[in-house]
Structure 1
């Protein structure tokens, strides 16, 4: 696979990069993204492609289940850089359909790290399960997972607002926060929050 990636990069540098050389040269001088995008690490979702966003416009953090955890130094450092230094004007939490992280909430995983990581989404599952009857059909199960995926977006926005630097920026009107949901079946983003 590495050879395919290198071949793909060679094609990119000879076509897209050369065709847009001025745009890419501008990116060398520094980054000035407008949006901090928190998305899932799922390999089926390529953020720049699904938004048709040009290089440099999105500052992206991806992790399993599009989490905004209050206990993760990596996430906190990226968030701080986005808000304090890059001065993004918008933060997006983007969840998606068919999310394996959300589905894993129903499994008794014996992994060392995944169950710990997923603890930041358990509240979304709990909220949904308290409002609906247990699913009896595959369609009802699909709908339940979708509701948990969407509730997890809301939950992660709540987590973001627990960071004092985010809460302060929101209160000052310096940042707006949005929740988006990407449907793998249609290729469409929809606004949740």
Structure 2
């Protein structure tokens, strides 16, 4: 697989990089993205690809389940850097269909770290469990999973608003928060309301 990645880089250099050499040279001196994208690590949901964004336009933080942890140094440093130093104008939390993290909510496992991490999202499942009856068909199960994914986006926006620097930036209208949902099967990216 590593050989394929190196070959892919050669194709990138021969096409996109050469065609946009001035643009990439400009990026070599710094970045000024306008968006912080908090997305899932799922290999099928590449933010730049699904939005047709160019290098340097999106500051990306990805993790299992597009989670905004209640506390966590890794996430907090990304957030602080994006808001205070890069001065992003928008923060996106993007969930997606067929999310393995959401499928794993409340499931028994021998994993040491995953259940602890997913504790940051279990409230989304609990909320949907209160609203919807258990699924009785595969179609209902798929719809239920997608609803939990969207509820998780809403929950993570709530978590994000608990960070003092986000509260301040929103109050001062320096940043706007957005929830998005990506449907892998259709390729459609849509707002979560």
Backbone CA RMSD of aligned residues: 0.7
Say yes or no: does 1:190 pair with 2:190.
Answer: yes
Q: Shift of residue 188 of structure 1?
A: 0.6
Residue deviations 1:16-60 (CA, integer Å, cap 9, x gap):
101100110110111100000000000011110100011101000
* Structure 2: gaps of 5 or more residues: none
- TM-score, length of structure 2 as denominator length: 0.98
> Structure 1: which 5+ residue stretches go unaligned?
none
Secondary structure at the aligned position of 2:93 is classed as: strand
TM-score, structure 1 normalization? 0.98
Q: Distance in 2 between matches of 1:192 and 1:69?
A: 19
CA displacement at 1:106 relative to structure 2: 4.2
Matched residues in 1 for 2:53 and 2:133: separation? Answer: 40
In the TM superposition, residue 104 of structure 1 has moved relative to its aligned partner by 0.7
1:133 alignment counterpart:
133
Structure 1 position 70, deviation (Å): 2.1
SS for the counterpart of 1:116 is helix
**Does 2:41 match 1:77?**
no
Asked whether the 8 Å contact 1:80–1:165 carries over to 2, the reply is yes
1:101 paired residue number: 101
> Does structure 1 residue 142 correspond to structure 2 residue 142?
yes
For 1:20-169, what aligned pairs fall within 5 Å after superposition?
20-169=20-169
